């Protein structure tokens, strides 16, 4: 699997692990400036571990929806160019702001990913990558609403959490409906369950249509 230059497999305590170059954020080991990327704490990291091609490339312009405390957003910012990180909750935003202090290209936005019009004046158009990990109903609709920021050849890297959509239904049924909804705005390039790293999650890589 081809990786961007900013994402490599490095040795930590005798084990080859995915890594990016940057300062530690969540207690992960760092060796020679490279920090381990824990796939059990990162949907995007799990996608790499499972052989997917999320589309993250060096110096990409990125919109990250559902940045939370900055665990994954920090790894993205280690690799990418301008990284706009949207988070709705105030408590994790405080942690995200601390992460941004050591990453000048990471721009935290205390906004609701379901309302892209509230941050459209800040986020530039023609972005290379949209990363989405939001725990809400209508995750495909959120991705479609934020499609406006991607250029025609851009990529969506989406983690769909079944239990956030409907905890009473079988995850596979939830995923099927979400993919049907997503196809109204995207061409799906790849989709895979994130087991064993994240239960009841489906990873999707897509491009605007």
The annotated binding site for S-adenosyl-L-methionine is made up of 71-72, 87-88, 112-113, 133-136
In whole angstroms, give the CA distance from residue 184 to residue 45: 27
pLDDT score recorded for residue 163: 95
Strand order in the sheet with 30-31: 7-12, 15-21, 34-36, 30-31
How far CA 28 is from CA of 33, 113, 126, in Å, comes to 12, 28, 33
- The whole-number average pLDDT for the span 170-174 is 96
Name the CATH superfamily housing domain 39-208.
Vaccinia Virus protein VP39 (3.40.50.150)
DSSP 155: E
Of all residues in the chain, what percent carry a pLDDT higher than 70?
100
pLDDT digits (tens, 9 = 90+) for 26-50: 999 999 999 999 999 999 999 999 9
- The whole-number average pLDDT for the span 157-185 is 97
- The whole-number average pLDDT for the span 88-105 is 97
The pTM score is 0.96
- The whole-number average pLDDT for the span 64-81 is 98
pLDDT score recorded for residue 165: 96
Helix and strand numbers, DSSP H then E, in the chain: 6, 11
pLDDT score recorded for residue 135: 92
pLDDT score recorded for residue 70: 97
Q: Is residue 199's pLDDT more than 80?
A: yes
- Pairing outcome for strands 127-132 and 83-87: unpaired
The annotated binding site is made up of 71-72, 87-88, 112-113, 133-136
pLDDT band at 13 (very low <50, low <70, confident <90, very high): very high
- The whole-number average pLDDT for the span 11-26 is 96
Q: Is residue 1's pLDDT more than 70?
A: no
Residues 6+ apart with CB under 8 A from 103: 22, 74, 77, 78, 83
Give me the helix-helix angle, 71-79 and 90-100, nearest 10°: 30
pLDDT score recorded for residue 2: 73
């Amino acid at each position: 699997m081809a990786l961007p230059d900013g994402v490599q497999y490095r040795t930590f305590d005798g084990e080859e692990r995915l890594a990016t170059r940057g300062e530690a954020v969540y207690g992960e080991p760092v060796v020679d400036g490279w920090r381990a990327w824990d796939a059990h704490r990162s949907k995007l990291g799990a996608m790499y571990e499972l052989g997917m091609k999320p589309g993250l490339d060096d110096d990409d312009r990125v919109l990250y929806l559902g940045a939370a405390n900055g665990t994954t957003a920090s790894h993205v910012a280690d690799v990418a160019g301008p990284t706009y990180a949207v988070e709705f909750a105030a408590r994790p935003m405080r942690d995200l702001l601390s992460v941004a202090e050591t990453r000048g290209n990471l721009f935290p936005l205390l906004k609701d990913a379901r309302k892209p019009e509230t941050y459209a004046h800040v986020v530039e158009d023609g972005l290379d990558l949209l990363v989405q990990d939001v725990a809400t109903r209508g995750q495909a609709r959120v991705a479609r609403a934020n499609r406006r920021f991607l250029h025609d050849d851009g990529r969506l890297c989406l983690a769909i959490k079944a239990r956030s959509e409907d905890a009473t239904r079988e995850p596979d049924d939830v995923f099927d409906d979400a993919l049907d909804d997503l196809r109204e705005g995207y061409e799906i390039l790849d989709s895979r369950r994130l087991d064993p790293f994240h239960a009841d999650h489906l990873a999707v890589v897509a491009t605007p249509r």
